[in-house]
């Protein structure tokens, strides 16, 4: 910037300052008192309703029934000794019909649960029959179904039940494994008819 421009700028600022002071002096001179209007603030007053509730009195003071007395077993004069049960070695290997996984392996975790290798689907006899059949299957150490129990038959058809049993017996499984040895295991299998 040139020197003349700087002087011109200073002069303009001084003139603007003097004019603004003159404006404020005239403003206070013409309006010495300011009127401030007070707008009343409206407060919300909630309405409270009081309702008198009559006192209630129980007419009968019946006690609740006493709890039943617990059964306390009394010591008998004769000692009851349970007979020893001998388990054959072939039953532990899984060849017995009466022995299951739950009976001789309580608390021992399975290394490998049974998995179905070959699934045979039962034939539908009639399209009007609907429902499910749940079978509990005993998988032997060979992987075949050695025994079964019927848990549920909602079809109410003996033919459908027989077809489901035949299909379960034809299916092939991998045997359950505990400590790297195959064992007997019971599983549940569901067969659906026209659902």
Residue 163, both tokens: 């077809």
Mean residue pLDDT of the chain comes to 77
* The 3-state secondary structure of the chain, one letter per residue: CCHHHHHHHHHHHHHHHHHHHHHHHHHHHHCCCCCCCCCCCCCCCCCCCCCCCCCCCCCCCCCCCCCCCCCCCCCCCCCCCCCCCCCCHHHHHCCCCCCCHHHHCCCCCCCECCEEEECCCCCCCCCCCCEEEEEEEEECCCCEEEEEEEEEECCCCHHHHHHHHHHHHHCEEECEEECCEEECEEEEEEEEECC
- Note the pLDDT of residue 78: 66
- Note the pLDDT of residue 22: 95
- Note the pLDDT of residue 19: 95
- Note the pLDDT of residue 20: 94
Q: Does domain 104-193 have CATH number 3.30.2420.10?
A: yes
- Note the pLDDT of residue 90: 47
Spell out the domain ranges in the chain: 1-29, 104-193
Q: How much is the pTM?
A: 0.45
Residue 190, both tokens: 């569901």
- Note the pLDDT of residue 97: 43
- Note the pLDDT of residue 88: 53
138-151 pLDDT, tens digit per residue, is 888 888 888 888 88
Instruction: Of 145, 137, 121, 135, give the one whose Cα is nearest residue 193.
Output: 121
Report residues of the chain scoring pLDDT below 50: 89-104, 106
- Note the pLDDT of residue 155: 84
> Phi and psi for 82 in degrees, rounded to 5?
-80, 135
């Amino acid at each position: 910037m040139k020197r003349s421009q700087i002087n011109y700028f200073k002069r303009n600022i001084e003139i603007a300052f003097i004019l603004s002071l003159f404006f404020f002096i005239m403003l206070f001179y013409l309006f010495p008192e300011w009127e401030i209007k007070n707008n009343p603030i409206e407060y919300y007053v909630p309405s409270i309703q009081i309702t008198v509730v009559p006192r209630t009195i129980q007419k009968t003071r019946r006690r609740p029934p006493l709890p039943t007395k617990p059964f306390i077993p009394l010591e008998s004069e004769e000692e009851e000794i349970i007979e020893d049960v001998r388990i054959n070695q072939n039953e532990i290997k899984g060849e017995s019909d009466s022995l299951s996984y739950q009976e001789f392996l309580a608390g021992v975790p399975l290394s490998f649960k049974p998995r179905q290798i070959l699934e045979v689907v039962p034939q539908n006899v009639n399209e009007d029959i609907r429902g499910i059949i749940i079978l509990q299957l005993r998988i032997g150490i060979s992987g075949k179904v050695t025994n079964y129990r019927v848990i549920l038959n909602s079809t109410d058809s003996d033919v459908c039940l027989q077809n489901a049993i035949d299909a379960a017996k034809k299916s092939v499984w991998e045997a359950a494994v505990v400590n790297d040895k195959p064992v007997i295991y019971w599983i549940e299998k569901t067969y659906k008819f026209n659902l």
